Chain A
């Protein structure tokens, strides 16, 4: 099995995630894009770990998952509170810091 294919997959997943963040307006979907990018990064870590025969990459992947879990908690809490006050989860409506 060529390890490069995993890396290609990671690139594709990261691009999909990035495009989701850049193009979608629903905060939940944007959030999912971010998760997708994180997991693409995780995949790349694991793959490189495998290529180099070094476990450090896999350890980092666990760290990323932990951080992602915490980030989801914080991020969802923010989205919920914004939804409560503004009745909307569109990221375009959250522009009070404009200019």
Chain B
């Protein structure tokens, strides 16, 4: 199956093309074709997985050459796929969660007239994401990178008849272009340093070339980080993710929670060999991760929009992954592990949120929810499993991955200096805040008093909550099972970490600065504290339907810590002024000079025209005058 792994990409790509080209004719069966394509991709992926598992650990990195792509001067890039534990982990995540979300979407988008187009874009996304993770060169990775950006844009703006949604799509697109500049500079620097863009030539040579190229290594590292920040919504390019929730909920689940936004983490881990040689860049990665971790968590505490809370949570969880990736080789495997478990529980919770919206007339305001556990049993339980997983309650998935990240953070830099304390404490506090905001979301939605009513006469909003159809609940159930047990199954005997070793390398664990059992206890105490605070405020007490004014911090968090205002003041306004000044300068100076010159010549021409009055004697007089002038000049010159 490994040699046929190009099918992984080809199937959804062809399906997407068919759906887009066939147009309305495929309206009746298009969605099932989309589901089929995604499922077929998953089956091929499973085949490749088993073939790879059958090999020896040392032979688990396979490069499949497809065709010569670019031959220009000293630049030779072949299009090929790299099948290794890391890429196959992503393939499994993307195709499995992707297929479940395809199935869910069949029901979720049932009443949308453009359902076929939606599936075409979803298939396009799956194909692009698989190109991204399977590419065996940075250049092909970049193709997938742009492909997922395009699919994300198309899907965020899927309901583009609403101008706000179209703007949100544009915002995501533009911010990702900013990050792409980093990607392009990184590609150029990699080629300049290594003379190649293929992983097989770049990654093994990083160690040998690092000695004389320290500055270059750090530049590559930082530029890759810029690219990762844009795609993964990390500080300071995080502002697009919240608005990206304008897309249909399955899109948020697949692209903006489980897969695409984690591409940045993939990029860093994939380039681990370079980052290991660039300690400064690696430190920046960890710092960015730590900042985003707290940023997302704080924003999540104040949002009333269920999807935006989840988006903030995604940002924060990817911050955890970035932090882990920034810890160096000890963190790479845990970053990917958390990415995998997060892909399951966050996608599950997003689908749960979609199910709640489905039952509540597409309302997203949690202040209009409450007491839904009685009406949506399946959604409640599946969401609850996801909630326990993200909290890091043992034995659910998140516990196995997040606790490892916290432990590794406390063991940074071999447990010396300020790094282990700062990163460790940030990760620890983040876990407490996560527990608070996720419990807030959970209690506000499913528990407490109902802040809606099915009676016409009531003052409260009028809703008829009901459980979603089976096509929607089954994917949620499967993801919930994953959220519950995946971490445990993969952690037994360090199975997952060992599986990733061909890519991340084997690292002996360092002792955290605080003993592991103490750390676990403190984490759990913080989590329980967070849940308790959330229960007291949002579960037991009455939640007001209009948000109270709140403290300065609450108001700041509600406004995304003023990220848009900052972007507007620092980048957008000066940019606008710069362009306006340039346009003004262009019109007045450049255009002015040219039109002025033309006008001057025209004026002279009009003046000269008056000499041609049609009277022969005037012409004759001019000739005579000219002759006399010539004679005088000749006379003066000769003497």
Contacts and interface: CB of A to CB of B under 8 A. Distances in A.
A94 B621 CA distance: 17
Nearest to A96: B614
B604 to A, nearest CB: 15
Contacts of A22: 617, 620-621, 624
A1 B612 CA distance: 47
B609 A99 contact: yes
Interface in B606-639: 609, 612-617, 620-621, 624
A91 interface: yes
Interface string A18-41: 100111010000100000000000
Nearest to A93: B614
Given A18-B624, A22-B624, A99 B617 contact: no
A94 B613 CA distance: 11
B615 A21 contact: no
Interface in A48-99: 91-92, 94-99
Contacts of B609: 99
B624 A30 contact: no
Contacts of B624: 18, 22
A94 B616 contact: yes
B617 A23 contact: yes
A84 B162 CA distance: 79
A30 B616 contact: yes
A22 B621 CA distance: 6
Nearest to B612: A99
Contacts of B617: 21-23, 25, 30, 91
Contact of B614 (A18, A23, A30, A95): A95
Nearest to B614: A95
Nearest to B611: A99
A92 to B, nearest CB: 6
20 contacts: A21-B620, A22-B620, A23-B617, A25-B617, A30-B617, A91-B615, A91-B617, A92-B614, A92-B616, A94-B614, A94-B616, A95-B613, A95-B614, A96-B614, A97-B612, A97-B614, A98-B613, A98-B614, A99-B609, A99-B614
Minimum-distance CB pairs A-B, first 9: A95-B614, A98-B614, A91-B616, A22-B617, A99-B609, A21-B620, A22-B621, A99-B612, A22-B620
Interface of A: 18, 21-23, 25, 30, 91-92, 94-99
Interface of B: 609, 612-617, 620-621, 624
